[in-house]
Chains A and B, each alone.
Chain A
């Protein structure tokens, strides 16, 4: 149990981004997922940047340009979230 009687799985970092799974299962099953997360995140960050650049260079009018740029930013935010998640400890990982 975590603080104030709340189950650890609900207060600790694995609850972040909806990753609420039993601790033991998380340790066993999430390793391959986590090892994939980092390269995917490092791919999404430049991919989003290229979408923003394409929007600036190829779109003529303001509205589609802004929409594509925001879409690129959304891809980057997804990449950043994955990168953050990939660096968070799993349940059961002690120091």
Chain B
């Protein structure tokens, strides 16, 4: 890639962070409306990591989470992954179904989580699209409840064929009152990062 991710300027980094922040902010507003519960987000963390280290950086490969993965396509390629610990996934399903002690593994709840991920990623991506003036689309979501390492290794494998480092934007969001959190992870293909940075350079 043209832009070296290990030597981005401070201005580029803060612009990237801001864009992701706005996107996730929009997504979380959608979530908040959907579940009628306040949701807070933290300023996105921007990291450049060796691909091999990504599972550890995200909290450990053995950590069991509910993951919704969507492929990003259009002018840029990449993946958006929403990860929720079991209690957060359960909270969301309980609020939506209006039932107590739900089992997140039933087909109904799996598709609820899938749809929640899809709606969030949709509003995130449309905000990125508008801001950058790029056409960005997402695939249908795929949901699974498994070990974090297993959920993301297919994506990391794909990236490791092209680059040694992955750019991670991870944003924690906190469901108020439940003290539970989840995160959004965005990874772009190196060529796509070039396109995004070119757009940013034109703006700043």
Q: Do A and B come from one complex?
A: no
Interface residues of B (CB under 8 A from A): none
Interface residues of A (CB under 8 A from B): none
